[in-house]
């Protein structure tokens, strides 16, 4: 499941890039991509934080799952609320408006989480020890 969560983080990073970011801007500006990536990010963030993280709080990866899952959910909510043309629920719009000033911090947190997961997956496949 770590691979799926890492891929969701990568898609979330692509989605959250500034709109004028070179060749990825055509992908990251697509409404269908943003909608699908936002839903995937919220779903995988929920699994990572609520299902895995809260059940393994005594382990490093449980805490990492909790923190990275919350970041994934928040980034997904911001992007989903920003791209929805129809009026969204008031609580979702209010939450998104509250989180907008923290967009850069959440992006850095998502990037750090992605790097932690990606490097760990590479280490596992190469037979190196990981943080445990």
Give the pLDDT band of residue 85 (cuts 50, 70, 90). low
Residue 99: how many other CB atoms lie within 10 Å: 16
Whether 118 maps to a domain, the answer reads: yes
Tell me how far CA of residue 18 lies from CA of 69, 75, 77, 124, in angstroms: 22, 13, 17, 32
CA distance 28 to 17: 7
Task: Determine the structural domain holding residue 119 and report its residue range.
Answer: 2-126
- DSSP three-state, residue 131: coil
pTM of the model: 0.88
| pLDDT tens digits along 28-80 | 667 788 888 999 999 999 999 999 999 999 999 999 999 999 999 999 988 88
pLDDT reported for residue 22: 59
Q: Does residue 22 sit within a domain?
A: yes
| pLDDT single digits (tens) 2-38 | 899 999 999 999 888 876 665 666 666 677 888 889 9
Within 8 A by CB and 6+ apart from 102, the residues are 74
* Tokens, residue 102: 């923290």
Which residues touch 2 (CB under 8 Å, ≥6 apart)?
117, 120, 121
> Please, what's the largest Cα pairwise distance for the chain?
50
Task: Answer yes or no: is 132 within a domain.
Answer: no
pLDDT tens per residue across span 116-125: 999 999 999 9
Number of domains observed in the structure of the chain: 1
State the pLDDT at residue 60.
Answer: 95
Q: Per the domain annotation, does 131 fall within a domain?
A: no
92 falls in which pLDDT band (50, 70, 90)? confident
């Amino acid at each position: 499941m770590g691979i799926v969560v890492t891929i969701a983080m990568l898609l979330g990073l692509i989605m959250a890039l500034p709109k004028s970011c070179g060749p990825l801007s055509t992908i990251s500006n697509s409404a269908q991509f943003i909608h699908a990536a936002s839903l995937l990010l919220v779903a995988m963030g929920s699994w990572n934080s609520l299902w895995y993280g809260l059940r393994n709080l005594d382990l490093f990866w449980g805490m990492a799952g909790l923190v990275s899952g919350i970041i994934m959910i928040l980034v997904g909510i911001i992007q989903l609320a920003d791209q929805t043309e129809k009026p969204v629920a008031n609580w979702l719009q209010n939450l998104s408006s509250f989180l907008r000033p923290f967009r850069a911090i959440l992006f850095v947190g998502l990037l750090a989480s992605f790097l932690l997961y990606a490097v760990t997956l590479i280490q596992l496949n190469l037979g190196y020890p990981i943080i445990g």
